[in-house]
Structure 1
Amino acid sequence: MEEQQYKHILVPIDGSKEAELAFKKAVAVAARNDGAELHLLHVVDTRAFQNISSFDTAMVEQVTETAKQTLDKYVDEAKKAGINNVDYSIEYGSPKVVIANDVPDELHTDLIMIGATGLSAVERLLIGSVTEYVTRTAVCDVLVVRTGLDNK
């Protein structure tokens, strides 16, 4: 039987502990899938800024800058772990759609590794988690990461 090979792994990064676990596991998976490409993605949810009367570009720039610092750190970490094929992008829009459809289409992603979100049942009911949406509508395989490298 031929072993499943993942070539283009996408990891959404939002600064959460869950996303960090997904990143660490993705590095391990990329290392096992020789020459796999690891793409980190941060989506700035532009809807969050719509309530601000004057669409505050300074605020968006600050959020983007913070994301860049986090992503740069992760890229370094991946390279130290021997993953040469690693990059990131920062997109703007609805995280659900960008993560599940837009970026995977563009990058020919074959695996999305996403952290389980820390939403309560009520929050999930009201807003629906990004993770839940991605697992339901993504164009490729999705692995929801709930545990660390020791699977705990």
Structure 2
Amino acid sequence: MGLTYNNILVAVDGSEEAERALKKGVEMSKRNDAELHLVHVLEIRSYPADAASIKERAEQYGIELLDKYKKIANDLGLQKVNTVLEFGSPKVTITKNIANKIEADLIICGATGLNAVERLFIGSVSENITRSAHCDVLIVRTQKDSE
């Protein structure tokens, strides 16, 4: 394994932490001349089976979120940026499916993210990524995390 990264995956969810992870991902991608893959996973179990409109709105939100992050990365001077929108459990989908598919050699995510209640009961997505990833993982903290 080399000392540079080729495919950097940044997990984003709309939180302040995700934005910091994005900026770190852009910085690392430039430094390594790597491809940046912005990933947003929509939790499917949280939609009732008949709630197609809720699912469509969530999908639209995911597309807009990824477009916004891609524009930020482009504005910061990075051109090799891909977006990935998937349905599933972020904890499983990011490390088991997406990271393998894009051959990620670094996963970057925020320390916490949006869903505090879920974190209390089943642990955070970032904790799970750290435990189950087959590549390096960088957890980005905010000022609030370190206080």
**1:64 corresponds to which of 59, 62, 75:** 59
* Corresponding residue of 2:8: 9
Deviation sequence 1:69-111 (CA, Å, 0-9, x none) = 1111111111122211101011011110111221011000000
Aligned alpha-carbon RMSD (Å): 2.2
Percent identity of paired positions between Structure 1 and Structure 2? 46
Judging changes above 3 Å, is the alpha-carbon distance between structure 1 residues 70 and 124 closer, same or farther for their aligned structure 2 residues? closer
Tell me the TM-score normalised to structure 1 length: 0.86
Distance 2:142 2:7 in 1: 22
CA pair 74-124 structure 1, distance change in 2 beyond 3 A = closer
Which ranges of 4 or more aligned residues in structure 1 deviate by more than 3 Å? 122-125
Residue 75 of structure 1 aligns to which amino acid in structure 2? K
Partner of 1:142: 137
* TM, length-normalised to structure 2: 0.89
Deviations for 1:114-144, whole angstroms, at most 9, x for unmatched residues? 0011566x85452111111110011111000
Q: Which amino acid aligns with 1:41?
A: V
Which residue of the partner structure matches residue 91 of structure 1? 86
Identify unmatched segments of 5+ residues in structure 1: none
Q: Label 1:96 to 1:28 Cα distance change in 2 as closer, same or farther (>3 A).
A: same
Deviation at residue 112 of structure 1 after TM alignment: 0.2
SS in structure 1 opposite 2:46? helix
Match of 1:26 in 2: 25
Residue type at the aligned position of 2:131? R
Write out aligned runs for 1:31-110 (5 A): 31-34=30-33, 36-49=34-47, 52=48, 54-110=49-105
Query: 1:46/1:147 Cα in 2 relative to 1: closer, same or farther (>3 Å)?
Result: same
Q: Secondary structure in 1 aligned to 2:50?
A: coil
Please state if 1:131 is matched with 2:126: yes
